[in-house]
Amino acid sequence: MATSSQRLGVVVFLGYQTLGDFCFACLTAASVAAALGGARLGLIYRDDRPYKGPLVAMTPLVTASLALPADAAMALPLDWFDPNYSQAGWPEPWLAQGLHRPDLFLTPSMMWISSIIPPIPALRLPPAMEGRSVEALRRLGLDPARWFACIHMREIGYSHRSGLDKDRCVDPLSYLPMIRDILFEQGGQVVRLGDPSMTPLPHLPGLIDISRLPNSFVLQAFAASRARYFVGSDSGATQLACAFKTPSATTNALGLGVWNDGDVMLTKTICSSGGQRLSLADIRSSAMMDLHYFRLPGARVADNTPGQLVAVARHMHAMTGDCTGWRQPRVEIELGSLGLVDLPLRQRGIADETHVTWWNE
């Protein structure tokens, strides 16, 4: 056990698979370490998605990480944390930092975004990732002298979530008017994020589609971090942009996927099983957006209209007038001086504690 003069040791098991959940857990872990005045922070994750390793590298305050093989046959026994068990398996940095005997052990159920300890930290790209990504985006045709927006539209074909949660999916073509507005009315460029299963978009000058590039997570994260603003749907890519504190709008939303002041939330139209259309007031007061995975039983949803999406993008453009080129990365992190944290971490209503703009229909 650490004494008051030592930095505390916190170990977090990031037992999530989806991008958004994993982002939440990384940020919450960093917030705990920050609240403890900069604790030693060890992250354990199963290396079964291409984004997990990079996200761990992008998480501030991490002092050690341990990637478990994707092969489920290889697992980490809890016994490794037992002082009377062999230490032979631990990587040297874990032993050197005493993270094999942490003061605090956090598991996924403790790490939801609503458990985050303010101020909410941000991800940041290590310099090596930045340099490679700048060049890659230039080669793909993105003008480094002009700002760009990032977009992402959730579809049903993503290999790890194929066929799941259809209500959160959208018709990507419904975003075309918005894309054209960004390109030709606002004067920006557009970088589309996603995965190779996504519906191709028509060729438009200034539209760079990197969703089809294999192994491009770091590039996509870099784009999300440097965009003037981000417009996404209810999906992990939106949380990724938000995690970089890029001004973000979540559209066609069924859960509150943004949390920074000024971010925008435009929900799908939701009708109860009895056919009653829920008002924005109903949706907000029910806190269903905070609960995220809880849905109104039997509810039916309808997508946002292209006009709504254009309006949201114009709002984001107007709101980010100070960003005329590629966004400069944020590097600061505010350390707390609590010295201790209470478990369970207090669940905060993100919608109550941040100033997200709920888009008025």
Least distance in angstroms from the C-beta of 133 to another protein = 27
In sequence order, what are the beta bridge partners of 151? 192, 231
- Identified binder of another protein from the candidate list 162, 199, 305, 347, rule CB under 8 A: 347
Q: Does 104 bind another protein (CB under 8 A)?
A: yes
Q: Does 234 bind another protein (CB under 8 A)?
A: no
Least distance in angstroms from the C-beta of 33 to another protein = 13
The single-letter DSSP state of residue 307 is H
Give dist(CA 120, CA 226) in Å, integer.
19
Do the Cβ atoms of 255 and 239 come closer than 8 Å? no
In sequence order, what are the beta bridge partners of 208? 191
Candidate segments 98-106, 129-137, 223-231, 255-263, binder of another protein by CB under 8 A:
98-106
In sequence order, what are the beta bridge partners of 40? 9
Picking from 113, 95, 68, the residue whose alpha carbon sits closest to that of residue 259 is 113
Instruction: Count CB atoms within 10 A of the CB of residue 74.
Output: 9
Q: What residues from 43 to 72 belong to the interface with another protein (CB under 8 A)?
A: 44, 46, 48, 68, 70, 72
| Longest pairwise C-alpha distance within the chain | 66
Give dist(CA 104, CA 184) in Å, integer.
52
Q: What residues from 151 to 180 belong to the interface with another protein (CB under 8 A)?
A: 160-161, 164
For residue 1, what are the contacts with CB-CB under 8 A and spacing of at least 6?
A: 103
x-or-dash string of contact with another protein, 306-345, rule CB under 8 A: ----------------------------------xxxxx-
Least distance in angstroms from the C-beta of 171 to another protein = 24
Site residues for another protein per CB under 8 A: 1-2, 8, 13, 15-18, 21, 44, 46, 48, 68, 70, 72, 75-79, 81-85, 101-105, 107-110, 114, 160-161, 164, 272-274, 276, 278, 282, 285-288, 290-291, 294, 296-297, 299, 340-344, 346-349
